[in-house]
């Protein structure tokens, strides 16, 4: 890879894309404030309506055995727990709903088991007679039935008969080795319980910090959903009104999600959500208003609640398009999703199948990528070797023409054409890194299998490693720490740049002299807060690149043969391409203009 003008252009484009990506992912923070007032107003309006409905409900329950009215205080809140190998779920008879889920195989940054569903609420209004309405989350269900298990599936049922004699049942089931809780809403007398044959489900859900820093976890939190059987999400926007049927909606954080799936779909709905901006452990809140039409007196509304990890293999079995919750590339960078899905992920899983330490899995993945792409970069190394062979001649031309940059550019182009050298060949490695970098950034940043995995001095490959904590915060994204893997990635990048300096035909341009050091400094600020799996990959990739260059340059490429080939090509008649002709005409015109200016000055 040559550090000439074309390589500089490649590096500038690469750096520009890096900064554009991080600007795109961070700009949502500035947009949140613009939507905050709208969100607060929406929440206040919904809460006001809910409070009015709750105040208007009939404050009595009906005993299921005697049929007589009983006072509210005589029914107490009761917590019931179901659990399998993966999760422990707590249910409450207040609202007949899930009130908390503990994931048994995952721990948070405090080394405690991850909990989801805290402070969340599911509700819908029902008509209980005498022109009164009750919000179901305010109802204390008097009947709680633990049903017999079947094939390991545990079941619980909450039942309430309204004063008008209509019955509401919430039936839950938890299957073995599943993260989802099946929820069936059964309404006996739905034609009278619901207004206009429509159930208006209100889902208020909250997410809390599980990773090292709440700031970054908030940044990558968003709301994902399937509308019209197509995946979509909102990140910077604070609200979304659905125009097509909704299959599922989820509040997503970096590695976990809480998702509501409607087996028959919701007909319409709206979402209001907001990231937290305070210093608490809260990440985000979402309030959904989802409507579905029903008909008949007895109806069943099948739903499912998923409380679990953002695991690609698990999510794709839960509901169509749900695996896209795992961000393997979206929006401007959706072109890297096929790379992740069909290349990076299968290879990573293959190595993980027989290597227990994920740090070594990343190393093997890196070697695989570098070996696969090495034939593509061979032409670049060959171009570098040709440039090195031509370096003495270019130095002579430079000495002869002095400060005449345009004249030198024309003679350089002529020499390259005669020798059959592609001056753009050195850009190939830099350009190859663009899709690979963005693919791996998405992959390592969302791969839950890396979470909590230690390697060497890194305690968590899904987050940055820390060898020194700073007493202050360095701006421009550097943070308040120093990452050793970032330093190794930057240092090896410097080694590559210094090595390539020896292949550069001329180093008189100050920009070319300092570019090998400017780019690694830029990487230092970009990489310091990225997952250590990515900076470890970059370190290994740089080392492999150096080894490949040395092997190819020293043992594969025959410099004497290259010189002989160049001499043969010089003797061969050349046909200029249209691009070369136009380029030389442009350079010639610029040289004439410069000569006129110099003559005028004299």
Give the Cα separation of 337 and 442 in Å (integer): 9
> How many CB atoms neighbour CB 552 within 10 A?
18
What pLDDT is stored for residue 153 in this prediction?
93
* Average confidence (pLDDT) over 584-588: 65
What pLDDT is stored for residue 510 in this prediction?
58
* Average confidence (pLDDT) over 318-342: 91
- pLDDT at 553 exceeding the cut of 80: no
pLDDT band at 550 (very low <50, low <70, confident <90, very high): confident
- Closest C-alpha to 4, from 376, 386, 526: 386
Residue position matching structure tokens 């107490």 = 76
pLDDT tens-digit readout, 50-107: 444 443 344 444 444 433 333 345 678 899 999 999 999 999 999 999 999 999 999 9
What pLDDT is stored for residue 50 in this prediction?
45
Higher pLDDT, 403 or 360: 360
Cβ(532)–Cβ(447) below 8 Å: no
- pLDDT at 488 exceeding the cut of 60: yes
pLDDT tens-digit readout, 26-40: 555 555 444 454 545
pLDDT tens-digit readout, 491-537: 988 888 777 776 555 555 555 566 667 777 787 888 888 889 999 99
> How many CB atoms neighbour CB 1 within 10 A?
25
Question: In the sheet that 180-188 helps form, which strands lie side by side, from edge to edge?
Answer: 143-150, 153-161, 167-174, 180-188, 298-309, 256-266, 246-252, 222-227, 230-234
User: With b meaning 16 or more CB within 10 Å and e meaning fewer, what string describes 49-74?
Assistant: ebeebbeebbeebbeeeeeeeeeeee
User: Which residue ranges form the domains of the chain, and what is each CATH number?
Assistant: 5-24+341-591 (no CATH), 57-326 (2.70.98.90)
pLDDT tens-digit readout, 108-167: 888 899 999 888 889 999 988 777 888 998 899 988 888 888 888 999 999 999 888 899
């Amino acid at each position: 890879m040559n550090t000439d003008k074309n390589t500089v252009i490649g590096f500038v484009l690469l750096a520009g894309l890096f900064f554009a990506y991080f600007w795109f992912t961070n700009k949502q923070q500035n947009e949140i404030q613009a939507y905050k007032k709208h969100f607060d107003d929406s929440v206040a309006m919904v809460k006001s309506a809910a409070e009015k409905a709750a105040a208007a409900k009939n404050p009595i329950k009906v005993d299921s055995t005697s049929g007589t009215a009983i006072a509210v205080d005589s029914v107490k809140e009761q917590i019931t727990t179901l659990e399998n190998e993966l999760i422990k779920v707590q249910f409450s008879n207040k609202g007949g709903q899930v009130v908390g889920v503990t994931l048994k195989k995952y721990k948070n940054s405090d080394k405690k088991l991850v909990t989801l569903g805290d402070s969340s609420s599911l509700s819908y209004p029902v008509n209980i007679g005498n022109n009164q309405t009750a919000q179901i989350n305010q109802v204390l269900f008097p009947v709680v039935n633990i049903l017999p298990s079947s094939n390991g599936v545990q079941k619980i049922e909450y039942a309430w008969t309204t004063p008008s004699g209509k019955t509401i049942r919430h039936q839950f089931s938890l299957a073995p080795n599943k993260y989802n809780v099946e929820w069936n809403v059964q309404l006996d007398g739905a034609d009278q319980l619901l207004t206009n044959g429509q159930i208006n489900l209100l889902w208020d859900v909250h997410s809390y910090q599980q990773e090292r820093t709440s700031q970054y976890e908030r940044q990558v939190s968003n709301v994902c959903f399937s509308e019209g059987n197509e995946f979509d999400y909102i990140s910077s926007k604070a609200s979304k009104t659905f125009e097509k049927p909704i299959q599922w909606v989820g509040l997503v954080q970096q590695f976990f999600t809480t998702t509501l799936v409607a087996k028959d779909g919701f007909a319409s709905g709206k979402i209001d959500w907001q990231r937290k901006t305070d210093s608490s452990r809260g990440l985000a809140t979402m309030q959904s208003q989802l409507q579905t039409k029903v008909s008949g007196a007895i109806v069943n509304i099948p739903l499912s609640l998923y409380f679990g990890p953002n695991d690609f293999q698990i999510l794709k079995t839960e509901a169509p398009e749900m695996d896209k919750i795992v961000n393997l590339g979206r929006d401007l960078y959706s072109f890297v999703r096929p790379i992740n899905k069909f290349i990076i992920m299968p290879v990573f899983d293959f190595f993980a199948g027989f290597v227990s330490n994920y740090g070594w899995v990343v190393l093997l993945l890196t070697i695989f990528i570098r070996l696969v792409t090495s034939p593509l970069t061979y032409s670049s190394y060959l171009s570098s070797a040709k440039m090195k062979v031509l370096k003495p001649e270019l130095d002579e031309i430079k000495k002869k023409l002095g400060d005449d940059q345009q004249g030198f550019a024309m003679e350089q182009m002529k020499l390259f054409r005669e020798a059959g050298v592609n001056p753009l060949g050195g850009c190939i490695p830099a350009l190859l890194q663009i899709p690979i970098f963005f693919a791996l950034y998405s992959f390592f940043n969302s791969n839950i299998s890396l979470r909590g995995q230690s390697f060497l001095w890194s305690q968590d490959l899904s987050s940055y490693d820390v060898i020194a904590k700073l007493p202050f915060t360095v701006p421009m994204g550097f943070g308040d720490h120093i990452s050793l893997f970032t330093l190794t990635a930057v240092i090896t990048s410097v080694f590559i740049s210094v090595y390539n300096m020896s292949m550069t035909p001329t180093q008189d341009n100050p920009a070319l002299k300092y570019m090998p050091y400017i780019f690694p400094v830029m990487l230092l600020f970009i990489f310091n807060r990225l997952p250590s799996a990515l900076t470890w990959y970059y370190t290994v990739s740089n080392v492999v690149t150096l080894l490949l260059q040395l092997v190819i340059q020293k043992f594969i490429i025959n410099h004497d043969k290259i010189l002989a080939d160049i001499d043969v090509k010089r003797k061969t008649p050349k046909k200029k391409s249209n691009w070369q002709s136009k380029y030389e005409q442009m350079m010639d015109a610029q040289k004439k203009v410069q000569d006129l200016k110099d003559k005028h000055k004299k």
